[in-house]
Amino acid sequence: MAVLEVLAYPNEFLRKKAQPVTRFDEPLRTLVKDMEDTMAAEDGVGLAATQIGADLQLLLVHPYAFKGDEARDEPVLVVINPEVAWESPERITAEEGCLSFPDVFIQVSRPAKVRIRALDLEGRPFEVEGEGLGARALLHEVDHLNGVVMIDHVSFLSRQRALKKHQKNQADLVAAAKKKKAEAAKAPKV
C-alpha cells in the first residue's frame, strides 16, 4: 500500500479532536492498511489517524505492546471510536515516545491498566484491556484522537526540554534533506 507522512508537532492537526467513524467501507480498510505500513516503516508501537492527517477516531496498536516479542507477527489491533471504560487507580511513570516527536522520550505517568470499548474494522463492538505498555500505548493513541499530545502530561520544565530537543531534531532533519537535495542536484545525469 502506502507509507504516509507522520505529522510532526506543532502541526495544528495534532490538536484536533477527531470525528467518529461512521462508514466501515473499502476506503477505511485502505486507510488502515496504509497506517499499518506507516507504523511499520516508522517502527512504531501505535499510530492514531490524526497523526497522518485523517480526521477519524481510528487508532492502531501493535500486539507487541500487549504480548512482547512473541507477538511480532500477529495482526495489528484496529480500534475505532474508542472510549475509555475503566482505568486502574494505580499509575506507572515510564518513558514514552511519539512518532510526532521523533527521537524525543519523556517520563509520563499513566494508569497501569485500562479497558477500552471500541468498534472493529467491521463495525462490531469489542473491548480490549491493556496493562503496562499496552495501557500506555492505548491511552497515548486515544489522547491523539482528542487533540492531546504526550507533552501535555508533564511539568513545564519537562515540556520545555522535550520541545527544545524536538526543535533541534526537526532542524537537523531539514538540514539533512537540504544536503541530500543539493548532492542529488550535483550528481551526474545519465
Closest CA to 74 of 60, 53, 87: 60
Q: Look up 141 and say whether it is catalytic.
A: yes
Return the residue matching grid coordinates 524536538. 166
Closest CA to 84 of 55, 49, 57, 107: 57
- The active-site residue, picked from 74, 122, 141, 183, is 141
**Dist CA 32 CA 47 (whole Å):** 10
Helix (H) or strand (E) holding 184: helix 156-186
Strand extents, DSSP E, 27-181: 46-48, 58-61, 77-87, 91-98, 101-111, 113-119, 125-131
Q: For strands 46-48 and 58-61, give the pairing.
A: antiparallel
**Dist CA 152 CA 171 (whole Å):** 22
**Dist CA 99 CA 97 (whole Å):** 7
Which amino acids are annotated catalytic? Answer: 141
